[in-house]
A = this chain, B = another copy of it.
């Protein structure tokens, strides 16, 4: 079969982007090839936006036939957190037919080499990028993110993370040369001379287990890291967030076909309600790599039981912000209010525990008592979310009923400093939209510990009164060590305390944001520059993305013979 896209064409088109990405991960300066404004996606402004919406609408109620072998049924039935029935059905796979079919194309994919694999991956990302406005709706109506966030985080930012993984994968595979001439002197005798060939070989099938809240952002790193290192990739989406990853698989299969490779190198594993196929898939001998985002319980199960595979997990954690003192009190409040509100706190990076000395703090606005800080933060959140239209644009919808139940229960855990407010969505009456709840807890009271030492995923945060700044640092240490953390924030004007918190983060392996008061938030990381998680505390066993995330997805095989 003559490929419609030759490796040469793809290399000419994408190699400059790959080189730029390689430079970015080395310098970690700002860079992205994926624009963050909807208007960049087309020439026609609102017409393009409408076209993206129309493309999404056209998917509703359809069967997404990916042409996968071993399809024995059609499954689906996602309901948007905004109340829309998606009605899309997806192939259900007979694994004994699909998995062997996925392996069939691996040899050619391996022999294509690291550069061709990278540029094919970049073409997949480009095609996804071209449909960003359509993907935005698919992410919005599965995750409950507001449109603008679904567009940014589910579109360009997810594509950034995918490209970053491709760049790391390429860099890693090319650290060993394809060939080497090895000549060892032997004194007066002839030297020993060998010719050596080195080939990166894949491990097998990579399984990506997607999550409900960030199907593309959290799915792309593992998907592209495994694919770029020569593996086939089976994508098992969260049953409530299938569409964005199914579209991704569809694009990947199309590009692979056009480039002359077997489309079955990427496939979808959708499941029937309550089928729970992740456990079955995760322990199949063909599956040699697993990328998972979700609960600690299942992440731990994977690490313990999927022993035939390399397992990369992002699990639950308890994120802390320490407020020791503030050089820009209003900036701090505004920044924190935004962090707590964005996507109703349903990010693995959203702060949960705000540790504040019970005797109050010093600020550029004068001393503030514990109660004042909490009240001012509550007011800042209120102000940010005072206008309902603006509020729904920030909050989005609660992703599932569990979050709502947890939010309602959390109000009973202590004194409510800021009550959660129901907002009617102007467009989607069935959407469950809630503003953040802030509950005061006393860190010295043992009965409060059960609350603040557990992850309460959703728009819930705890303002925890601590005896001193050093107590805060020690509680931070214990929280990260025992519960894990994806992010840590701290506000302080004291160089000594800054050093103390920094040391805790270095020792407990947590990523630290200091004194953020402007337009960067503790819960946001930028690909090519920020690491997402550290891989060194219980919240995640891997970081997005570093060399350790890619280096064990392939092995280098050497064939040597006398020269």
- Chain A residues with CB under 8 Å of chain B are 26-30, 107, 110, 172, 175-177, 180-186, 192, 194, 196, 198-199, 201, 203, 303-304, 307, 502-503, 505-507, 509-520, 526, 529-531, 534-536, 543, 546-548, 551-552, 555-562
Q: By the criterion CB–CB under 8 Å, are B512 and A558 in contact?
A: yes
Q: By the criterion CB–CB under 8 Å, are A560 and B512 in contact?
A: yes
**Can you list 19 A-B pairs with a CB-CB distance of less than 8 A?**
A26-B177, A27-B177, A28-B176, A28-B196, A30-B182, A172-B547, A180-B529, A194-B520, A303-B307, A512-B558, A514-B559, A516-B561, A520-B562, A530-B560, A534-B557, A535-B552, A543-B556, A548-B551, A551-B551
Known contacts A536-B203, A547-B551, A552-B535; A184 and B30 CB within 8 A of each other? yes
Min Cβ gap A513→B in Å is 5
- A28 to B180: give the CA distance in the assembly, Å: 6
- A192 to B307: give the CA distance in the assembly, Å: 44
- A505 to B198: give the CA distance in the assembly, Å: 12
Minimum CB distance partner of A304 in chain B: B307
Copies in the complex: 2
- A517 to B518: give the CA distance in the assembly, Å: 69
Q: By the criterion CB–CB under 8 Å, are A182 and B509 in contact?
A: no
* Leading 4 A-B pairs by shortest Cβ distance: A536-B555, A548-B551, A28-B180, A514-B561
Q: By the criterion CB–CB under 8 Å, are A535 and B513 in contact?
A: no
Min Cβ gap A521→B in Å is 10
Determine the chain B residues whose CB is within 8 A of the CB of A27 once the complex forms. 177, 180
Determine the chain B residues whose CB is within 8 A of the CB of A551 once the complex forms. 546-548, 551
Known contacts A180-B529, A547-B547; A557 and B512 CB within 8 A of each other? yes
Q: By the criterion CB–CB under 8 Å, are A180 and B562 in contact?
A: no
Q: Which residue of A182, A192, A514 has the most chain B CB atoms within 10 A of its CB atom?
A: A182
Min Cβ gap A317→B in Å is 15
Determine the chain B residues whose CB is within 8 A of the CB of A26 once the complex forms. 175, 177
Q: By the criterion CB–CB under 8 Å, are A509 and B561 in contact?
A: no
Determine the chain B residues whose CB is within 8 A of the CB of A181 once the complex forms. 29
Contacts A107-B507, A192-B520, A512-B560 given; 17 further ones with Cβ under 8 A? A28-B177, A29-B181, A182-B529, A186-B519, A199-B506, A201-B536, A506-B557, A510-B557, A511-B557, A513-B559, A513-B560, A513-B561, A530-B558, A530-B560, A534-B557, A543-B555, A548-B552
Determine the chain B residues whose CB is within 8 A of the CB of A175 once the complex forms. 26, 547
- A514 to B197: give the CA distance in the assembly, Å: 11
Return the contact of A558 from the options B177, B303, B511 (Cβ within 8 A). B511
- A561 to B199: give the CA distance in the assembly, Å: 42
Determine the chain B residues whose CB is within 8 A of the CB of A510 once the complex forms. 557
- A199 to B534: give the CA distance in the assembly, Å: 11
- A446 to B548: give the CA distance in the assembly, Å: 43
Return the contact of A534 from the options B28, B512, B556, B562 (Cβ within 8 A). B556
Q: By the criterion CB–CB under 8 Å, are B560 and A507 in contact?
A: no
Min Cβ gap A298→B in Å is 16
Determine the chain B residues whose CB is within 8 A of the CB of A28 once the complex forms. 176-177, 180, 182, 196, 198
Determine the chain B residues whose CB is within 8 A of the CB of A184 once the complex forms. 30, 526
Q: By the criterion CB–CB under 8 Å, are A559 and B502 in contact?
A: yes
- A510 to B30: give the CA distance in the assembly, Å: 41
- A158 to B175: give the CA distance in the assembly, Å: 23
Min Cβ gap A541→B in Å is 9
Minimum CB distance partner of A181 in chain B: B29
Return the contact of A557 from the options B30, B505, B555 (Cβ within 8 A). B505
Known contacts A201-B507, A535-B552; A512 and B177 CB within 8 A of each other? no
Minimum CB distance partner of A555 in chain B: B536
Min Cβ gap A535→B in Å is 5
Min Cβ gap A114→B in Å is 14
Min Cβ gap A415→B in Å is 32
Return the contact of A110 from the options B180, B506, B557 (Cβ within 8 A). B506
Min Cβ gap A396→B in Å is 23
Determine the chain B residues whose CB is within 8 A of the CB of A555 once the complex forms. 509, 534-536, 543
Known contacts A28-B176, A176-B28, A196-B529; A514 and B557 CB within 8 A of each other? no
- A529 to B563: give the CA distance in the assembly, Å: 15
Known contacts A177-B27, A511-B557, A555-B534; A517 and B547 CB within 8 A of each other? no
Minimum CB distance partner of A519 in chain B: B192
Q: By the criterion CB–CB under 8 Å, are B560 and A556 in contact?
A: no
Determine the chain B residues whose CB is within 8 A of the CB of A303 once the complex forms. 307
- A520 to B27: give the CA distance in the assembly, Å: 42
Q: By the criterion CB–CB under 8 Å, are B562 and A518 in contact?
A: yes
Q: By the criterion CB–CB under 8 Å, are B556 and A546 in contact?
A: yes
- A520 to B517: give the CA distance in the assembly, Å: 64
Determine the chain B residues whose CB is within 8 A of the CB of A194 once the complex forms. 520
